[in-house]
Chains A and B, each alone.
Chain A
Amino acid sequence: MTTFHNASSVSLSSIARVNPEQLRLRIAGAVADGDALLSLFALELGGQKHLCALLGLRRKMLIEPLLCPLEDYEYPCITLSAPQAHMFEREIAEQYGILPKGHPWLKPVRFHEPPQSGILGYRRPGPAVWEYFSMHGEEVHEVAVGPVHAGVIEPGHFRFQCHGENVYHLEIQLGFQHRGVENAVLKNPARRMFYMETAAGDTTCAHAAACCRVIEALADAQVSARADALRAVSVELERLACHTGDLGALAGDVGYLPTMSFCGRLRGDFLNITALVCGNRFGRNIMEEGGTRVCLSQETADELLKKLDAAGADTLRAVELMFGTPSVMSRFEGTGTLSRETAQDLGLVGPAARASGLRIDARLDFPAGQYVKDSVSLAHFHTGDVLARAQVRRAEIENSLAYIRRILPFAIGDCGRSECGPARPDALAVCVEEGWRGELVHAAVTGPDGNLLRYKITDPSFKNWTGLACALRGQQISDFPLCNKSFNLSYCGNDL
């Protein structure tokens, strides 16, 4: 059994080949053991369709790849044995025309052009035009929302099955943001970094860092310690900005305006600190294969630290105010509860998983770069409600502030940049990076000429959207904005 560390590569020939039944059993076994299905995707190797599964063996801190050659355009579905495979299998069916037989809810994920080959017999339907789970009976009604929502937010379609105010089921159908990122990465290497930086615009640093590590692993390039530190600083700044913004938005959603206003400003302050590093508030143009595009002078670092201290202190006080207000707490408590079991079954990641008591964090489970040298503390709570998701964010703000203060000195000075030579042929490289929404997985497979054959991006949102749908069961429909914000998932990261 081949296993490898995060941010490294293995040759395709060394990866265990399994048949569909063995694949199903191995994934089901790993998931039952509390390990993760990091990613599952199809690809074509030597003219034959293959499934590739990446298992995250958390306790061993290792990644186990599996390759399953397919003789046919169908295989017995894995979802029934491991529910967290359900979106992956829908995606595989849509992208490659491969049918996961027995899948309980097989429908398109993104509504793009179906493949020419394969056995899915449909023409391209309109976006989100498909059958929905529906309830019938007296006084039962359906609420449809989107794609264009009320706020300044990305598009998606939500269907609520309601009885009065109570939601029995929510189905989320995305795909409106699909712009062909994965294929474009293969076709246009010059734009690769730009695609990564805009895969999910609020997770620029984490996606770009993951891609860099994948390409570096394929080229066997070493990155300077300073570049590692600067990457981690920018990923943590991204976390600070987004968590602060989310806590403010949660306050706003229950009508508590002081924290909303303070955090709205403070989120911008964290973004402006990122702009000190690279000129862009979202951390564009920091990462580059082989290192970083920018360096941090002592002077800039001093200013960064000064602003970080000021914004950090203000943020913690603004957030404290919210947590000390009983009317806010009573709205957060017990709203949108997701049990540990459900979170585990669905394979949730990030703050949403940690709020339900799962002790998972890629920075600890699969450390790479700076996180190997210096670890972060795990923030986890157990009630699984909006309150727990808010508490995780507050704790992570504290942790990230402390972490940046600790590692900033290592990021100062010339980062240097190592050349990424030609990529290793016939190899698989994987990077798992803990973005602020949770672990994102990048996997690249090269062909005999060293060119990329397949590039797979798994954004945490792809796994967590179902968590939001489940959190809404048994809630009032008016709790949706609050629940939604407590997850704050990405549409474009899901749709790619």
Chain B
Amino acid sequence: MIRAIIERFRQKERTANFPKEMPQLPPRFRGVPVLSGAPMTPAVQRKCPCGALSTNAVDLGKCVFCGRCEEFSAGVVKFGKDFSLAATSREALVYKGGEYARAKALGGKLQKMFGRSLRLRQVSAGGCGACEADANVLLTPVYDMARFGIQFVASPRHADGLLITGPVTRNMLSALHSTYEAVPAPKIVIACGACAISGGTYAGHDETAGIPKDIPVDLYVPGCPPHPYTLLDGLLRLLGRI
């Protein structure tokens, strides 16, 4: 016991003071892109393995932040450091430059219900494990998501919403539906990662179906996988805490 206490002092308190203080992300981190405004040539657009580029926009719902466009576009696309990427509509993810339309608060009755206490059931549906791992990491002392009243729960019946990761394989479709049905209304749905939002690199596969239309999404969190701070920032914005 005494050894554990001594070690606790050695390891120090590690919980970051987010959102009051902004975290230091690595220099090579890729966040909200900065667009020069010049049109993207078809040659640059073809460099994107996910088809996220059009003449004047980057679809952050498809983008896997690989940076290939940046390498080839001669300054038309550059990735910035802003990790606050989550949005509350699919259209907002099609970024054309200027101010990024970040996630808005739920507002009204939902915000009153969930604003200080949100329980989420996570469903991995074809995810590679990275989105799941970086969602799980929010429970560690550094992020300590529980201090905001947000937790992952084991049963959908105890949950206020779903956090979906992965391109939704055909083999997971019925399990996803059942889990969604089991969550009592009112409920929210969060699509976490490029795969869940658009299929990502798995878009167009016969084996994947995407989140079905009858499961409406309230929060889109781009990234491959989203940085833990991107997800936490999105959740807090949705709950009106930022």
> Known contacts being A177-B166, A190-B49, A284-B66, is A111 close to B129, with CB within 8 Å?
no
Interfacial chain B residues near A200, Cβ < 8 Å = 128-129
Q: How far is the CA of A179 from the CA of B224 in the complex (A)?
A: 16
A204 in the interface, Cβ–Cβ < 8 Å? yes
The smallest beta-carbon distance between B109 and chain A, in angstroms, is 28
| Interface class of chain A by DSSP | loop
> Known contacts being A195-B201, A280-B65, is A201 close to B179, with CB within 8 Å?
no
Q: How far is the CA of A324 from the CA of B2 in the complex (A)?
A: 12
Q: How far is the CA of A105 from the CA of B32 in the complex (A)?
A: 51
Whether B129 pairs with A178 at a CB distance below 8 angstroms is: no
Q: How far is the CA of A248 from the CA of B127 in the complex (A)?
A: 23
Q: How far is the CA of A204 from the CA of B139 in the complex (A)?
A: 23
Within 8 A of A (CB), among B133-148: 133-137, 139-142
Q: Which residue of B lies closest to A285 (CB)?
A: B66
Q: How far is the CA of A286 from the CA of B201 in the complex (A)?
A: 17
Contacting residue for B11 out of A126, A177, A199, A318, CB 8 A: A318
Q: Which residue of A lies closest to B224 (CB)?
A: A284
B124 in the interface, Cβ–Cβ < 8 Å? yes
> Known contacts being A194-B201, A492-B126, is A179 close to B29, with CB within 8 Å?
no
Interfacial chain B residues near A201, Cβ < 8 Å = 127-133, 225
Q: How many residues of A contact B (CB 8 A)?
A: 60
Whether A264 pairs with B128 at a CB distance below 8 angstroms is: no
Whether B172 pairs with A198 at a CB distance below 8 angstroms is: no
B167 in the interface, Cβ–Cβ < 8 Å? yes
The smallest beta-carbon distance between B65 and chain A, in angstroms, is 7
Contacting residue for B49 out of A177, A178, A191, CB 8 A: A191
Interfacial chain B residues near A126, Cβ < 8 Å = 174
Within 8 A of A (CB), among B154-182: 154-156, 166-167, 169, 171-172, 174-175, 179
Whether A184 pairs with B205 at a CB distance below 8 angstroms is: yes
Q: Which residue of A lies closest to B171 (CB)?
A: A127
Among A90-98, A228-236, A268-276, A427-435, which stretch is in contact with chain B? A268-276
Whether A155 pairs with B175 at a CB distance below 8 angstroms is: yes
Q: Which residue of A lies closest to B140 (CB)?
A: A264
Within 8 A of A (CB), among B19-33: 25-30
Within 8 A of B (CB), among A154-185: 154-155, 175-180, 184
Whether A152 pairs with B122 at a CB distance below 8 angstroms is: yes
Interfacial chain A residues near B124, Cβ < 8 Å = 152-155, 177, 491
Interfacial chain A residues near B220, Cβ < 8 Å = none
Interfacial chain A residues near B11, Cβ < 8 Å = 262, 265, 314, 317-318
**Cβ contacts A272-304/B at 8 Å (1 or 0 each):** 100111111110110000000010000000000
The smallest beta-carbon distance between A129 and chain B, in angstroms, is 10
B125 in the interface, Cβ–Cβ < 8 Å? yes
Whether A154 pairs with B7 at a CB distance below 8 angstroms is: no
Whether A179 pairs with B202 at a CB distance below 8 angstroms is: yes
A/B interface sample: 10 pairs, CB < 8 A: A126-B174, A154-B127, A155-B123, A176-B169, A199-B128, A204-B130, A262-B7, A265-B140, A268-B228, A281-B225
Q: Can you add 4 more A-B contacts, CB < 8 Å, to A176-B125, A199-B128, A202-B133?
A: A155-B172, A179-B126, A264-B137, A284-B66
- Return the 9 tightest CB-CB contacts between A and B, nearest first: A201-B128, A201-B130, A279-B28, A264-B140, A150-B154, A198-B128, A127-B171, A201-B129, A180-B207
Residues of B near any A CB (own CB < 8 A): 3-4, 7-8, 10-11, 14, 25-30, 49-50, 64-67, 121-137, 139-142, 152, 154-156, 166-167, 169, 171-172, 174-175, 179, 201-202, 205-208, 224-225, 227-228
